[in-house]
Structure 1
Amino acid sequence: MHSHVKASKSNHSNLSDIGIGIVTGGLAGVSFWLAVLPLDVAKTLIQTNPDKHCSRNPFQVLGSVYRRAGLKGCYAGLAPTVTRAVPANAAAIVTWELAMKLLGIKHD
């Protein structure tokens, strides 16, 4: 993204760096949670199950969730998780890039 934005010869490089950080951080957060949310659902079910004799294998738990509720059950809580992930990860990337710039650390 930086190479495409820099090619336009923008006079607002700091503003474009922040915009790029917001977009890439938000996309990274969404991508991460789309990949791991089913395992997080299984983990939550294992942690909150009062029956100590139930399966502790997250893949078995996830299989039973899928059989019972389908793919929608595996992604329970996706909307609030993504809603939280976008600003949190965007802020993390922007802060990281700002810290690197303030410390004078260059990266390619």
Structure 2
Amino acid sequence: ESIGNVVLFSVYEYVCYYMHSNIKVASSNYTNLVDIGIGIVSGGLGGVAFWLTVLPLDVAKTLIQTNPDKNCPRNPFRVLSSIYQRAGFNGCYTGLGPTVSRAFPANAAIIVAWELALKMLGIKHD
């Protein structure tokens, strides 16, 4: 998850920076609404990027955990290699659709809640 979190927060910060620098708010009455929209997009895209990064290892982990044979290989990279040989690149991303469709709204909500909590506590996030 460490690598996935690096990707998540890198994408989140980049998208936030890009959107804030390219969106001009017509009125200060809409700044909070714009910030929420930016949080939704940047958090959602960060979550999708996280799962695109870690999903192959998660697939391998799931196969290891659900294999009833206790003598099966426990090395996730060996299992991942086996999946790739058997099913190709698509096999490494089994379940991508449901995972991404869950990741976008879940991470968007988390980021928006986090940013609103920071504002309510008076903590500056520049």
C-alpha distance in 2 between matches for 1:9 and 1:55: 55
Residue 9 of structure 1 deviates from its aligned partner by 3.6
Which of 22, 41, 45 aligns to 1:27? It is 45
C-alpha distance in 2 between matches for 1:3 and 1:54: 52
Tell me whether 1:10 sits opposite 2:23 in the alignment.
no
Percent identity over paired residues: 73
Q: What's the TM-score once normalised by structure 2's chain length?
A: 0.82
C-alpha distance in 1 between matches for 2:25 and 2:116: 21
Structure 1: stretches of 5+ with no match in the other structure: none
Which of 48, 52, 55 aligns to 1:37? It is 55
Residue 36 of structure 1 deviates from its aligned partner by 0.2
Which of 1 and 2 has higher RCO (CA within 8 Å, sep 6+)?
1
Alpha-carbon deviations, 1:60-107, whole Å to 9, x = none? 000000000001100000000000000000000000000000000012
Aligned to 1:89: 107
Residue 4 of structure 1 deviates from its aligned partner by 2.4
Residue 2 of structure 1 deviates from its aligned partner by 1.8
Count of residues paired in the alignment:
106
C-alpha distance in 1 between matches for 2:50 and 2:20: 22
Residue 25 of structure 1 deviates from its aligned partner by 0.5
Aligned to 2:66: 48
Aligned to 2:77: 59
Q: What's the TM-score once normalised by structure 1's chain length?
A: 0.95
Q: Specify the structure having the higher radius of gyration (Cα).
A: 1
Structure 2: stretches of 5+ with no match in the other structure: 1-18
